[in-house]
Chains A and B, each alone.
Chain A
């Protein structure tokens, strides 16, 4: 625990623990989604993690052609 906090920081470790708690909660109760695909075990967790990475990746790749100088429109 101490190692995690030192390495990862207090807030980050707390988020990690929350993630674990919400996974355990799913094992205790019965979760079902609005669609049948969501009923797969830990689906929202997986979807949230992957979505965030995909958004980041696409965002970074868009930088090369969407990002211009700050005074682009003033030239």
Chain B
């Protein structure tokens, strides 16, 4: 029975029972659900479950070397999320997280696009509750925009799937041609979820509005599901190299000026997705391994950073750099774990980011993509600036904010320590990590050149930040809104459309007035001329009619005579 169940589905169904369980039993129950779901990963590669509905074959459980690493990390992340959110007594977020994780895991195992579409939309409808959980007006509005965009992405996927089905008779989830219409529709669907440039506004808009638990879960699944889909369907598509390079590059500047530290992390998330997209665009075995390794490592260290900031938000009530500072003495464990996350994302040797990012950089070097290589190297220095230094520095050090608080709850600390341990373990023992990647390759990240080069890059970038701060060149963080691509649909389109609608409305009113005036005039004419002169009265009607008819006959006669004679 369990063997035919796709991983993740049991978590979705099981989530329905969560509201009826007492708190402690609920936490154990959720752990059991995740472990039962993970059991299906031991079944090996192949198609394990299909359903035939109306002559359409739904492959609901299919696994291969690409699904395995994503399934493993999604299960690990689900466990970390359960532990991190254990202090939350109400059931609503637990249901959302369990069903959201389940939907993402099930999506990874989909063997056709219709099954993928169902789970794709399920991730949207379950995750939106994590944004709503903040219970602020901003979060309600943000959640509305989020669900519109996510469902919109699903519509592109569905359209692509239907076109593919009509052309090929099958909607198998496989490698697609970007030059076909269905390929382009599917590409856009994945691109929206992967937060491509100009399609990324939803990410920075919604994630920082979610609850402290919700943001950790959100940072794990949606975007990485899109990365998985790209790796499966568009590996080696060259346009991805350009898109990915842009993604690594431009969010850095936004992250540098952003004040909300959770929003800084979403820009950083966007930048990290760029590294993965570039690797998928290259498409070689080394590069695909790099993309998958980076996604795996990224879920852990980005989750850890969001956990750290979530703990700060939970205790202090804000994540704004301008209002924080000096929290190290009150939250030392949170601070240390956040620093480990920051070191990992910056790709310092002996941490997970280094062993993952090295694969991508080596793949770029091997393919001779020098310009993109240097864009990513520049982005690496940027990552250190905004995630490696800015996040821990402004939250736990910088200036004395005067805030007095206490350490994060025990469950949060446990989750953070677990994530930190995994970040270090992967960094110290990369060979174990590389074994779960899709392709078996021989790669050694720890050689003299890699290590010394990376250490020079990072320490000198850090030294530059220190100089800027020490000599008071670095400007103070300010409470502000940084414009992003969501400005297009939040300000620009309403700004253009509203005056246009007003203009159309005014023209409509003028036309209405003109028509009314014409009718009034005609009415007046009839009233004054025809009725007043008793034209339609019975007594004189017949004579008038005879005169009019005669006049018309004469007119027709003249007309015909003029034309034909």
Q: How many A residues face the partner with a CB closer than 8 A? A: 49
Q: Using known A-B contacts A55-B252, A55-B385, determine if residue A47 contacts B481 with beta carbons closer than 8 Å.
A: no
Contacting B at CB under 8 A, from A15-68, are: 15-16, 18-19, 22-23, 25-26, 29-35, 37-38, 42, 44-56, 58-60, 62-63, 65-68
Whether the Cβ atoms of A30 and B448 lie closer than 8 Å is yes
B370-391 Cβ-contact flags toward A at 8 Å (1 or 0): 1001100110011011000000
A2 nearest CB across to chain B (Å)? 17
Which B-chain residue is minimally distant from A26 (CB atoms)?
Answer: B452
Residues of A within 8 A of B453 (CB): 31, 33, 38, 44
Q: Using known A-B contacts A31-B448, A51-B378, A73-B491, determine if residue A44 contacts B362 with beta carbons closer than 8 Å.
A: no
Whether the Cβ atoms of A19 and B459 lie closer than 8 Å is yes
Whether the Cβ atoms of B460 and A49 lie closer than 8 Å is yes
B31 close to A (CB within 8 Å) = no
Whether the Cβ atoms of A15 and B464 lie closer than 8 Å is no
Residues of B within 8 A of A38 (CB): 453
Whether the Cβ atoms of B464 and A52 lie closer than 8 Å is yes
A20 nearest CB across to chain B (Å)? 9
Interface of chain A, main secondary structure? helix
Residues of B within 8 A of A51 (CB): 377-378, 381-382, 461
Q: Using known A-B contacts A45-B457, A55-B382, determine if residue A15 contacts B462 with beta carbons closer than 8 Å.
A: yes
B9 nearest CB across to chain A (Å)? 39
B312-343 Cβ-contact flags toward A at 8 Å (1 or 0): 00000000000000000000000000000000
Residues of A within 8 A of B382 (CB): 51, 55
Whether the Cβ atoms of B482 and A67 lie closer than 8 Å is yes
B526 close to A (CB within 8 Å) = no
Whether the Cβ atoms of B463 and A49 lie closer than 8 Å is yes
Whether the Cβ atoms of A48 and B448 lie closer than 8 Å is no
Contact of A55 among B253, B370, B373, B490 (CB under 8 A): B253
Whether the Cβ atoms of B454 and A56 lie closer than 8 Å is no
Residues of B within 8 A of A26 (CB): 452, 456
B470 close to A (CB within 8 Å) = yes
Residues of B within 8 A of A52 (CB): 381, 384-385, 460-462, 464-465, 468
Instruction: Give 19 A-B pairs besides A53-B468, A67-B480 with Cβ atoms closer than 8 angstroms.
Output: A12-B466, A22-B452, A23-B456, A25-B455, A30-B448, A33-B453, A35-B365, A44-B452, A45-B457, A46-B460, A48-B460, A49-B461, A52-B381, A55-B253, A56-B474, A67-B482, A68-B480, A68-B481, A69-B480
9 contacts between A and B (CB under 8 A): A31-B453, A46-B460, A47-B377, A48-B459, A53-B464, A56-B473, A59-B257, A67-B478, A69-B481
A-B CB proximity, top 5 nearest: A34-B365, A59-B256, A52-B464, A51-B381, A48-B457
- Measured CB to CB, the residues of A under 8 A from B are 8-9, 12, 15-16, 18-19, 22-23, 25-26, 29-35, 37-38, 42, 44-56, 58-60, 62-63, 65-74
